[in-house]
Amino acid sequence: MARIGVFICQCGKNIESTVDTKKVADEMAELPGVVYSCNYRFMCSAPGQEDVKKAIKKHKLDGVVVAACSPHMHEKTFRRACEAAGVNPYKCEMANIREQCSWVHHDTTKKAGTAKSIDITRMTIERLKKNKPLKKISIPVNKRALVIGGGIAGIQAALDIAEGGREVILVEREPSIGGNMARLSETFPTMDCSQCILTPKMVEAELHDNIKLYTWSEVEKVDGYIGNFTVQIRKKARYVDEELCTGCGDCLVKCPFKAPSEFEMGLATRKVIYTPFPQAVPNIPVIDAARCPKIQKGKCGICEKVCGPGAIDYEQTDQIVTEEVGAIVVATGYQVMPTARFGEYGAGKIKDVITGLHFERLASSAGPTGGEIRRPSDDKVPDSVVFIQCSGSRDEAKGVAYCSKICCMYTAKHTMLYKHKVPDGQAYVFYMDIRAGGKRYEEFTRRAIEKEGAMYLRGRVSRVYERDGKVIVQGADTLSGDQIEIEAEMVVLASAVVSRTGADQLAQKLGISYDRYKFFNEYHPKLKPVETVTGGIFLAGTCMGPMDIPDAVSMGSAVAGKVLGLFSAEEMAREPITASVNTMICNACWDCVVACPYTAIEKEEVRNKKGEIVRVNAKVNDGLCQGCGVCVAACRSKAIDLAGYTDEQVYAAISVF
């Protein structure tokens, strides 16, 4: 006969307000196999856990049911307490009488809540009687990390992991690392030059012994599980031998063909063989194959002729390299909503309507205008600039309900940069709210208004159009209540921060989830902000939502801490909740093989001594199995059971009714 202890938690008022926990405890005490039952204010508190341990010893318990919150909250807590007191942790079960009972009842007479709690707890007790003691599975951990994305978040994560003594593979889609931060002129609120603080980190990442850099590369395929991932990386053809190239730049000078620069977002041109910007890391050019006449038509070949070390290789093809890693950090960043999306602001057809990222390039001393603010249409220094905040953000009609978080700050910065460079100029800012939460942020926006003369107008701009060489901005100042028309010479949209094109495909490759905006989901918004639901895969930076540089860097470092923690032991223990096949019943239909989302089930052939196949059946790989239970449902002959969730346990739970 089982010796079960039942512990009913009041959770302060959370449970007690709609459940009579004393009554539940009393009823449970009457059940066969239950030798001890009590209620308590906070079971999860130290004294509460102590009570569990004491009861285990005193009543020689061999199983424990805690009726409290969701197992997501405290299953681990109580299983640990049981283990400490000598009971197998998998002989401890939670009965969820909070999320699934007390919180959904409003009846303070406690009638319904108590009745339902009794049912839930009884089911758990019957289930527990069929629980088997399980042992944690230990799996080896490959102590190398993959970081996807070489922006500031990815660089920070890579550097911190590398400094922690572990190898890092850093994969970047563009020809250089640096990400969007490399585009920025100066950074708020300190106004230090973005390049000046970023490039040392880029160089450090390149030179670090523990970091292996793959630029102009993309993750193709990911297999495996926490501690044991196999990643295929597509190294796109660069047409330049990375070993031979010295980065002298002769080819860039001599190449006769030009194309719009991606890095300058069309504000300038680059050569067809190019590095995106002078401080690119690595300083190795890439040939734009689609535009290169040599590659397309076999005509030209100048770069090959001028290359001293003979590094040009027109025959290069994409290569797939395979890397084995134990953890993956996703740091793929953001992009901004393009001006073409704003029909009311000229749909991208008005040259002098640009995004904030374009303005960064205009203000950057390394940018196309050498840091002078000149408008794209005719290079004129604009005598007035209108900045439009919340362009696309907080705009459900454009499908973006969220706040892009960084625009209030960078727009204030833009007005200052503009004022410093064009002292006679006038900056206007249309805003809805000024969101300047952050250290020295509020002071910064006030400085733009009070000291730098930016005219802030509270309202949204309805329409932007051209008239006589001016850009006419029509909007409202809701504080005065009036309609406003400004004849501006340039308009800067603080365009919404949106997820990267293709973010959803990457998420599908990795098996992580994303929200309706295709930002990646963290495991828990407060308590597990850098983890994903998939073990061993972590997030850093704006791929999970809009954030500024300090937040992205913090996340990069936080993630490094998590990865180093995972790498701190030779092996990691994991939950023994895995499926197993009863080979005597399995009829080898392979439905489970098809159903398994983790490719954890393989076909097994059993042979006799003569080597003849006597039976074929399915077999579950413990390392890969995530315990999702899909195979259990798929199996027609009921040959598969999931440890901790066996049919026997489930039927026992149902049997109380």
Residues near other proteins (CB under 8 A):
343-344, 347, 349, 390, 394-398, 432, 458-463, 465-468, 472, 474-478, 481-484
524 CB-near residues (< 8 Å, 6+ apart) = 531
349/440 with CB nearer other proteins: 349
What is the nearest approach in angstroms of other proteins to the Cβ of residue 284? 43
Q: How far apart are CA 153 and CA 155, in angstroms?
A: 6
Instruction: Please report which residue ranges of 390-454 form alpha helices under DSSP H.
Output: 407-421, 441-450
Phi-psi region at 285: left, alpha or beta (left = phi > 0; alpha = psi -120 to 50): beta
Minimum distance from residue 352 beta carbon to other proteins (Å): 15
- Specify the residue, 201 or 394, whose C-beta has the smaller distance to other proteins: 394
Least Å distance, CB 340 to other proteins, is 11
Q: Where are the beta strands (DSSP E) in 188-276?
A: 192-193, 211-214, 217-225, 228-235, 258-260, 269-271, 273-274
Give the nearer residue to other proteins in terms of CB position, either 1 or 397: 397
Query: Token digits for 230?
Result: 């196999």
DSSP calls for 495-559:
EPEEEPTTHHHHHHHHT--B-TTSPBPPSBTTTBSSB-SSTTEEE-GGGGS---HHHHHHHHHHH
**CB closer to other proteins out of 189 and 475:** 475
What strand order describes the sheet that includes 455-458? Answer: 353-355, 490-495, 384-391, 426-431, 455-458
Shortest gap between Cβ of 337 and other proteins (angstroms)? 13
Residue closer to other proteins, measured from CB, 423 or 481: 481
Of the pair 314, 402, the CB lying nearest other proteins is at 402
Cis before 309 (ω within 30): no
In the complex with other proteins, the residue whose CB is nearer, 456 or 538, is 456
Closest CA to 68 of 117, 125, 3, 23: 117
Least separation, in Å, of the C-beta of 265 and other proteins? 22
Q: Which is nearer to other proteins, 285 or 475 (CB)?
A: 475
Question: What pairing do the DSSP bridges indicate for beta strands 34-40 and 4-9?
Answer: parallel
- Which residues 6+ apart lie within 8 Å of 13 measured at CB? none
Residue 602 to residues 577, 578, 593, Cα–Cα distance (Å): 18, 14, 7
Query: 117-138 burial string, b = 16+ CB within 10 Å, else e?
Result: bbebbbbbbbbbbebeebeebe
In the bound complex, what is the minimum distance in angstroms from residue 339's beta carbon to other proteins?
A: 13
Task: Provide the CB-side half-sphere exposure for 571 (13 A, CA).
Answer: 8
Q: Which amino acid is at 142?
A: N
Q: Which residue has the tokens 């259990």?
A: 632
Q: Return d(Cα 157, Cα 387) in angstroms, integer.
A: 34
Q: Tell me whether residue 138 or residue 480 sits nearer to other proteins (CB atom).
A: 480
Taking the C-alpha atoms of residue 406 and residue 189, their distance in angstroms, rounded to an integer, is: 11
Give the nearest distance from C-beta 468 to other proteins in angstroms: 8
**Least distance CB 447 / other proteins (angstroms):** 25
Contacts of 295 (CB under 8 A, 6+ apart): 239, 287, 289, 314
Residue 303 CB partners (closer than 8 Å, separation 6+): 251, 254, 255, 273, 287, 294, 312
β-sheet with 537-539: strand ranges across: 211-214, 167-171, 144-148, 327-330, 537-539
Asked if residues 537 and 225 have their Cβ atoms less than 8 Å apart, the reply is no
* Min CB(545)–other proteins separation in Å: 20
Nearest to 89 by CA among 81, 97, 101: 81
Report, in Å, the least distance between residue 380 CB and other proteins: 21
State in angstroms the smallest separation of the CB of 498 from other proteins: 15
How many angstroms separate the CA atoms of 611 and 509, rounded? Answer: 39
The minimum distance between CB 387 and other proteins, in angstroms, equals 15
Q: With respect to other proteins, which residue has the nearer C-beta, 465 or 645?
A: 465
Give the shortest CB-484-to-other proteins separation in angstroms: 7
Which alpha helices (DSSP H) does 269-355 contain, by range?
293-297, 302-306
Name the minimum Å distance from CB 434 to other proteins: 14
Sequence-distant (≥ 6) Cβ neighbours of residue 451 within 8 angstroms? none
Between 215 and 384, name the residue whose CB sits nearer to other proteins. Answer: 384
Name every residue whose Cβ is closer than 8 Å to that of residue 399 and which is 6 or more positions away in sequence: none
Looking at the Cβ atoms of 311 and 473, the one nearer to other proteins is 473
- Shortest CB 519 distance to other proteins, Å: 20
Where are the extended beta strands (E) located within 31-82?
34-40, 63-68
* Nearest residue to 214 via CA among 126, 327, 83, 323: 323
| Nearest to other proteins of 73, 476 (CB atom) | 476
The residue among 349 and 528 lying less far from other proteins, judged by its C-beta, is 349
191 or 340: whose CB is closer to other proteins? Answer: 340
- CA–CA separation, 116 vs 97, rounded Å? 8
Residue placing its CB nearer to other proteins in the complex, 306 or 476: 476
CB of 465 to other proteins, least distance (A): 4
